[in-house]
Amino acid sequence: MSKNRVSRRQFLSYTLTGVGGFMAAGMLMPMVRFAVDPVLQAKAGGNYIPTPQKVADITEVPTRVDFTFEQQDAWYNSEETGTAWVYKDDKGEIVALSPVCKHLGCVVNWEGDKSNPDHFYCPCHGGLYTKDGTNVPGTPPIAPLDVYPYIEKDGYLHLGKAEPKKGA
Ligand code: FES
């Protein structure tokens, strides 16, 4: 007779532990998946958002481009609007700037102040930026306007997520 015989009590203990673990895993798996799913989807995102701006129509004068996109915030989908100031620089390169002031987040306007032509102007506290989005020293903003990465698709401008200007 083997010395490793399992007693009735041990058998019941192992069986109940196994069944309990199996049931707990069955209950926890949907919860873990529910919690992690949006995080995984956010990584898969990062796509460029189409705008109504035709690339061929972009000039050297900054133009306000409004666009809409769907945003997923955890499990809530909403339609959001975005804005960019878009122009072509001296080399013909497209520049797409965020309108969000780097002081306290108001919205800047191109030539919004008559006494400062060729500048972006923030009306909240008199912030100024040069055409390339660089903040003018002596005014409240402490950093350049964020820059949208972009692609051209089917003749239209598509924008990525605005990020701080490189080298700023
Ligand atoms: S928020 Fe733009 S200058 Fe203060």
User: Per-residue pLDDT for 18 more than 50?
Assistant: yes
Give the residue from 23, 15, 24, 82 showing the smallest Cα distance to 50. Answer: 82
Residue 108 Cα to ligand 1 midpoint, Å, equals 8
Q: Is 104 in the pocket of ligand 1 (CB under 6 A)?
A: yes
Going by pLDDT thresholds of 50, 70 and 90, the confidence category of residue 60 is: very high
CA 91 to chain CA centroid, nearest Å = 28
* Alpha-carbon span 149 to 152, nearest angstrom: 11
Q: Is 94 in the pocket of ligand 1 (CB under 6 A)?
A: no
Residue 74 Cα to ligand 1 midpoint, Å, equals 30
- Mean pLDDT, all residues of the chain: 86
In the prediction, which pLDDT does 108 show? Answer: 98
Helix (H, G, I), strand (E, B), or coil: what is residue 127? Answer: strand
Q: Is 123 in the pocket of ligand 1 (CB under 6 A)?
A: no
pLDDT digits (tens, 9 = 90+) for 82-126: 999 999 999 999 999 999 999 999 999 999 999 999 999 999 999
Taking a C-beta distance cutoff of 8 angstroms, is the pair 141, 101 a contact? yes
User: Per-residue pLDDT for 51 more than 80?
Assistant: yes
Q: Which tops the pLDDT comparison, 23 or 38?
A: 23
Q: What does the longest C-alpha to C-alpha distance in the chain come to?
A: 102
Distances (CA, A) of 94 to 6, 60, 85, 107, 148: 76, 9, 10, 21, 10
In the prediction, which pLDDT does 42 show? Answer: 41
Helix (H, G, I), strand (E, B), or coil: what is residue 128? Answer: strand
In the prediction, which pLDDT does 21 show? Answer: 65
Mean pLDDT confidence for 59-66: 98
User: Per-residue pLDDT for 33 more than 60?
Assistant: no
Six-digit token string for 165: 């200007």
